[in-house]
Chains A and B, each alone.
Chain A
Amino acid sequence: MQTFVPWIQFGIGLVLSPLLAGIVNRTKAFFAGRRGQPLLQVYYDIAKGLAKGAVFSRTATWIFRAGPLIGAAAAVTALALAPFGGRPAAVSFPGDPILFLGLFGLMRGLTVLAALDTGSSFEGMGASREVFFSALTEPVMMLGFLALARESGALSLSGILNAASLERPETALVAVALFIAFLCENSRIPFDDPNTHLELTMIHEVMVLDHGGPDFALIQAGSAVKFWCLGSLIVNLFLPLRPDWPWTANTAAGLAAMAVLAVSVGVVESVTARLRLNRVPQLLAAAAALSALALIFSLG
């Protein structure tokens, strides 16, 4: 049974990840005094998209269709590397954080190429911003993971995250830095506004303007899984769970914490304004500074 637990958690992540976007949207609706869309709206969207046909640009080539497909596959693969609820991930080996970051790089690279494939200037603009911001989040995550690795002596994601305890100041610093990187990577406010309706201000949404039907459904599913993967890392930092506790309790605690994370993303989106684009590097530099500070604390 125990050997299957990580794969059960993998399945839970796969199935429940679109729910988080629903929670974020309901939180935002609550702050705005609206009732908001159903919690399961993203499921409906994905199901509908998969059943629909699509319109392809005459400019686009096979890369346009490969982008969402490989992007979703990379996110699902990364899910197998992400530990959940204080337990080791399905696949775990020393150095796997590098692979984890690399898989999101692959997802991003293919999404950006699919955007450039359409030859649209709007999509080119979104692609340009997307690659630039995520290039700056890489050092944040790398330094954050290194600080945790120094603290725990472990080299795998499961090892470093499950050994971390919030009582130490460096863990708290890393949690803040990772939360900032999480918001940036998932295109949330203050970096990007998923609800914006003006193409010129979009980042992630504008890159997928031309995708429709099943391709867009795959993009939505992939983004949901990515949100889950990166979120589960942060949640693991906060939860004082031990791997020898019953896995059902651990998983339940993890799920509750994921819901709290989604609510807090909703709160952040409701109470903060979006940053001006040229301010974004400054916030990411601040996050990198927090990670670096955490690393220095962890040396002591």
Chain B
Amino acid sequence: MIPVLAAFAVLLASGVTPRLFRPDSGFGRRVGPAGVVIAAALTLIPACRVLAGRTPIREAWPWPMPFGSFAFHLDPLAAFFLVPIVVLSALSAWYGPDYFGGHDPGRAGRSWLPFNALVGGMIGVCLADNALFFLLAWETMALSSFFLVAFDHREEGVRRAAFIYLVAAHVGTAFLLPMFLSFANAAGTADFAAFSGSLSGPAASAAFVLAVIGFGAKAGFVPLHVWLPDAHPAAPSHVSALMSGVMLKTGLYGLIRTLTFLGVPNAWWGWTLIAVGAVSALIGVLFAMAQRDLKRLLAYSSVENVGIICLSLGVATVGRAAGLRPVAFLGFAAALVHTVNHAAFKGTLFLAAGSAVRAAATREMDRLGGLSRRMPFTAAVFLAGSLAASGLPPFSGFFGEFLLLSGLWRGVTEADPSTAVSMAGAASVLALVFGLSLIVYVKAFGVSFLGSPRSDAGSDAVESPASMTVPMAALAAFCVLGGLAWAALFRAVIPAAAGVFGPVPLAETADTSEWLWKIAAVSGLLVLAAGCVALLRLRRGRPAVRSSVTWGCGYGPATARMQYTGSSFVQPATELFGFVLGTRKNVRPPAGYFPAGRRFETETPDMSREKLYRPLLAAVSRLFSRIRAIQEGRLQVYVAYMVLTLLTLLLWMLR
């Protein structure tokens, strides 16, 4: 644990330093991220050791707080979440200073204190072995990310997004408090070690529901995801990468940790998770499709991917409750593998999107286009992330999808009819989600990076400096080499799963890793085939190659504005799913012989905000406006209230 404590110290020191010296100097702007990189390296050492099979580390120091103790527990599950957290933190931090560039250097330098606190909070959440310590780390994480979201606080939209995020984070915590209290009450201590098996029956179910809501608000389960599509675009891109790539996962980690306390689950818990996951995945991908803002699209895609992970956890839970061990193992492995994949590809995508947005100064995809000519490196990285995010083989994103679907397939073939039919339903929803996510990412990449620039915004963009492109490339490499990576890394999943389910039979894990190697072999075949085809083309020598304008069916002077836009690209799908999306159209068609003043606008506001929260909050404020009747405004009345209160209390005491 010493390296982890040292990491906390480094994070704190390097976060505070820029405030003590000049935050706008070169040193002030770079000491914070350097601290994150050092802390990440320090944390990686014990985490990788535990994943490689060393014994889990459990240490505790006394803490003069009631129920509190500085109890750390680094088991394979925590280590599995810790590795992507610290790696992505280090890469985002590396990317950060030049992303801010000359943009208000003082504030950029000072922003490293909340950034480092966020990294420390996430490490603390994964390692905490005590409820109070966990909640403290959890709150550190929530508050520091609030300050990061509010970085551009001079814009009104950003302040609003940050405020919504703050409220959502605390609503989540409000559900976690009673859950931890009920565990602590039953166990007699706040240490996690004593929690497992302390609750049973309805109390366990209640704790499960509280955990799904409390952790779901952080992870972004529908309909608790409302803060996500606002907060991610508002935050600086390397912060979005960190929040979307790994901070959401701390919610999932908390949920998994809670499931380990609850012992053998009820089947309906699993079905709840499957339903929540399927709805989140479908709603997330549909809304991602309808977005015009590149970072909002990525934010909704995070809702989709968190939904997929939640569905995987549900499959694991159902499998465990029904005694279908292979299904449970595959579902859980899918959740873990997809957690890492999502961290990698969403990190890649947010960093690459940040690089593009910084160069083009707009996030609106329909104003971008043709960036791959101006920024070939960023484009290649974004492409790698997109292909991984669409779950296409042989890119990394495919492997979580593969494990989850093969878990569901085994469920369909082996389980009783009612379970089988529900699992087949989940599998077909997933097939639709994967099909739609291809639309989302083809749109995101194709419209922003391909074709020709749709406005002046992107036409004079320049490639980002190496300090930004190198971290992006590192993440993109993982997205591309996913095939080999997962076949080799799969061993690390097994101890984490064993921590949750008890020992996993060797035969199953051996089978699964054999399949992964076969997929890697097929990917090799794919590369070989592509190589052969390329050779076939090259061997033809250099036949006459000319370049000309794009074929416009005989029409020469086509302009960039005549290209298909992102909105029109997704129009068939948004039309079909219009009943979910509720896209608002503002159309004024050209009319008359000399048409003028035509207009076409679409907007897709978030469904749960429009249909759920707005009416709910309106009802709450109506209720409270009635109570305002007692707020008279005259001092005499308030004095009367005080006298009445005192009298009541006096009478109550005398009773």
Using a CB–CB cutoff of 8 Å, the interface residues on chain B facing chain A are 369-370, 372-373, 376, 379, 383, 387, 390-393, 398, 401-402, 405-406, 409-410, 412-414, 417, 420-421, 424, 427-432, 434-436, 438-439, 441-442, 445-447, 450-452, 511, 514-515, 518-519, 521-522, 525-527, 529-530, 532-534, 536-537, 540, 543-553, 558, 560, 562-564, 568-573, 575-576
Contact = CB atoms under 8 A, between A and B. Distances in A.
Contacts of A129: 572
Interface stretch (A33-41, A99-107, A187-195, A253-261): A99-107
Contact of A99 (B427, B519, B527): B519
Contact of A121 (B406, B409, B564): B564
Main secondary structure of the interface of A (DSSP, over half): helix
Interface stretch (A164-172, A208-216, A226-234, A242-250): A208-216
Nearest to B569: A128
A120 interface: yes
A76 interface: yes
A166 to B, nearest CB: 20
B406 A155 contact: yes
Contact of B451 (A54, A55, A118): A118
Q: Which of A121, A141, A277 gathers the greatest number of chain B CB atoms within 10 Å?
A: A121
18 contacts: A56-B545, A58-B550, A61-B450, A73-B529, A76-B529, A80-B525, A91-B521, A91-B525, A94-B511, A106-B392, A118-B451, A118-B550, A119-B370, A119-B450, A120-B563, A125-B568, A128-B572, A146-B428
Contact of A146 (B427, B549, B564, B572): B427
Given A93-B514, A116-B450, A127-B569, 11 more contacts: A53-B543, A54-B545, A102-B401, A119-B550, A120-B550, A127-B446, A132-B572, A138-B434, A139-B435, A295-B421, A299-B417
Interface string A77-116: 1001100000000010111111101110110110011001
A125 B552 CA distance: 13
A296 B379 CA distance: 46
Contact of A55 (B438, B521, B548, B576): B548
A46 B564 CA distance: 30
A52 B543 contact: yes
A69 interface: yes
A124 interface: yes
- Most chain A CB atoms below 10 A, which of B410, B414, B527, B533: B533
Contact of A109 (B421, B442, B450): B442
Given A125-B564, A132-B573, A213 B547 contact: no
Contacts of B406: 94-95, 98, 155
Nearest to B552: A120
A267 to B, nearest CB: 29
Contacts of B529: 72-74, 76-77
B interface, by DSSP: helix, strand, loop or mixed?
helix
B564 A109 contact: no
Contacts of B435: 105, 131, 134-139
B451 A136 contact: no
Given A54-B543, A77-B522, A116-B442, A199 B428 contact: no
B325 to A, nearest CB: 16
A136 B553 CA distance: 30
A288 B189 CA distance: 53
B547 A58 contact: yes
Contact of A60 (B412, B424, B550, B552): B550
B560 A119 contact: yes
A11 interface: no
A95 B407 CA distance: 9
Q: List 7 A-B pairs, minimum CB-CB distance, nearest first.
A: A124-B564, A135-B435, A119-B451, A53-B544, A116-B446, A73-B530, A53-B543
B543 A56 contact: no
Contact of A142 (B431, B569, B572): B431
Given A124-B564, A135-B436, A93 B518 contact: yes
B442 A58 contact: no
